[in-house]
Chain A
Amino acid sequence: MLGGYTGKILDVNLDSGELKDVSLDEEMAKMYLGGKGLGLKIVYDSFRADMQPFDPDNLLVFATGPATGQKIPTSGRYHIVCSKSPQTGTVGSGNSGGKWGPFLKFAGYDVVIVRGISKEPVYLSIVDGKAELVPAPELWGMTVHAVTDELTERSGNPKKTSVACIGPAGENLVPFSGIMNDKYRTAGRTGLGAVMGSKKLKAVVVSGSRKIEPANRELLEDRAIESMKRIRENPVTGPKGGLHTYGTAVLVNIINESGAYPTRNFQEAYFPDADEQSGETLVKKYLTGRGGCWGCPIVCGRKSDVPDGPFSVRDTEGPEYETLFAFGSDCGITELDALIKANHLCDELGLDTISMGGTIACAMELVEKGKIPPEKLHGMNLRFGDPSSMIEAIWRTAYKAGIGADLALGSRDLAKKYGAPEFSMAVKGMELPAYDPRPIQGIGLNYATANRGGDHVYGYMISPEVLGLPLKLDPYAVEDKPKWTIILQDLTSAINSSVVCLFTSFALGLPEYAGMLAAVTGFDLDADKLLKLGERVTNLERLMNNMYGLDRNEDILPKRLTEEPVPDGPAKGQISHVPEMINEYYALRGWIDGKPTEGKLKELGIA
């Protein structure tokens, strides 16, 4: 048995109802570790170029990694992959924290593969190595919190049980619905919730008490202690650092003052009222506590409470920085209580907050510019700065009610439908996150080239370009950005295959990750080999996208960002220079026109 793995994969066929155990292939684990890498490899081995998002053969793969559930800082995470995303047309991919990942391993499995479509709604129960499909028509329609409470209670062992599920948005096949676990944690991007909804799979419940032995326990403990020390001493990740004190919302003021806080659908990049929705203000007005994922010393999660007023919501969690931008500045909305409410609603309905906010912002601009006629809105006052209409737009989207059916298309198809595709601030159909790329060149290159579409955590260039970690790069400069973007993208692929939290990368580097993973697995791993593994994962994902027909034509930013300078604020006059950087990026990658060459694939052991 390999260290750090259960050695078992659960293969669930919803067409036939058959469940079978499959042994984990050791060579595959060495090549792809787990999490994202292993999930992609499983999808690749059943790849079909004509796959459709709601095809029964579209695999949904829940994958832990060798670090998951070990005594390694932030090892509470797992990754979900699907063969084809309904949002982007690429391979689908999302990552989540909480406790579901470790609990799957404690229940006896490294990976769950879901294929086929059930005739009726079901949930999958995995308890102490015993898996079963349970008919669940009574659960269909429930919100995330309701179904989580119901299934946790049914388990009879609430402290050792975790539920991953979809909400109404996933059931209604909204292409940017997520898979939620532990109520507030989300594998949010690329519409994995809709794929799960198409399979009539409402939830996956995991519970167990199995311990997974690492290859070298003593060595692992030494290396984990050293990594823990680095995390605790780091000003961002330490116990009194920015992430713990203010949450990810600590970025609101920093990014705004950098002139990169996208405002009113990226028409501007500075929001004068940003401080009213900042991490500092959240702490002062609504914070009731802090919480973290399983095994996490950083504890960046927020517990918040809005006791009264029109946007009252009690004892909720969040919001994160990305959510504050998406429903806040991007929609021209200042009120923090409304943003907390919007976040809560998305968690209940199972929606990706970035894409939901980005789509509403796009709709607001379409209304502002007269592209969506008033009669389409049935009385909704969908305009920048109106928090009530933003809230209403969320639930309408989840249920595809009225204009919600159009919003549920996502910004790309919504803007196309109303004759103004240029208003969609998305890459490959996925809405952009909370950093305007015009004054931060590397993050723009990362957005353009990220395999799953507009994605900040594919290669988090904000770390060197704004936070100065691990070194300071001038955000306006283009020099060296292709090289650094590639390094961070491949590092992230390795982290997501481990699986640990990306936030550890503020404090840890490749040697620390490789050291811990080598101790867990017994594999021959060092910093270079781990980065090469990350490169393999990035290239495999790219190869599948190429086989779906994507190439350099999809590696582009919205024209607004490359042609319209930032109109005001600290970054006035800046534009993104992605077109000037992309060829160097491809050359360094060993790609031609966005496609890995045969030589590159051979070098990585893919071909």
Chain B
Amino acid sequence: MIMLVKFLESVQGITEQLEISVKVGKGDTVYTVLLALAYHYGHDFYAVTIGDKSETPKVRIMLNGKDIGHLKGFETNVKGGDILVLSSQEPLINLHD
């Protein structure tokens, strides 16, 4: 089962790509997807998405058009066909200068 993760604005500066397909299975959540991506993209990605889970992430995280803050946060379940969007208006690393 494949879901799509899209990167907008400053997040593109970390991932250096616009989107990626991720294989997901039963029990996967927003957290497990972000963790897998953090292994792929490195510490900067981890810091701005998950970081200290008790704090608000530096990036806006939307699952199928809704902010995960209005769902179950990091524990929101994901499934094939879902679209996860990460965006940030804040400069996460040095960009576009």
Interface residues of A (CB under 8 A from B): 235-236, 238, 240-243, 245-246, 250, 253-254, 257-260, 275, 278-280, 283, 439, 468, 472, 474-476, 569-571
Contact = CB atoms under 8 A, between A and B. Distances in A.
Given A283-B96, A570-B65, A472 B70 contact: yes
14 contacts: A238-B90, A241-B91, A245-B95, A246-B9, A250-B9, A250-B89, A253-B6, A254-B8, A254-B87, A257-B62, A259-B64, A468-B67, A468-B69, A472-B67
Nearest to B69: A472
B62 to A, nearest CB: 6
Contacts of A242: 9-10, 89-90
Contact of B60 (A238, A275, A468): A468
B54 to A, nearest CB: 17
B19 to A, nearest CB: 9
Interface residues on B, range: 20 to 34
Q: Which are the 4 A-B pairs with shortest beta-carbon distances?
A: A570-B65, A242-B89, A235-B90, A259-B65
Contacts of A258: 62, 65-66
Interface of B: 6, 8-10, 12, 18, 60, 62, 64-67, 69-70, 83, 85, 87-91, 95-97
Contacts of B67: 468, 472
Contacts of B65: 257-260, 439, 569-571
Nearest to B85: A257
A345 to B, nearest CB: 28
Contact of B12 (A280, A475, A569): A280
Contacts of A279: 9
Contacts of A250: 9, 89
Given A258-B65, A280-B9, A475-B66, 4 more contacts: A241-B91, A254-B60, A472-B67, A570-B65
B57 to A, nearest CB: 11
B8 A253 contact: yes
Contacts of A245: 9-10, 89, 91, 95-96
Contacts of A472: 67, 69-70
A474 B69 CA distance: 8
Contacts of A569: 65
Contact of B89 (A235, A260, A474, A475): A235
Contact of A241 (B69, B85, B89): B89
B8 A476 contact: no
Contacts of A259: 64-65
Contacts of B83: 257, 570
B64 A570 contact: yes
Contact of A240 (B64, B70, B91): B91
B47 to A, nearest CB: 15
Nearest to A254: B87
A246 B89 CA distance: 9
A472 B60 CA distance: 11
A87 B6 CA distance: 40
Nearest to A269: B65
B63 to A, nearest CB: 9
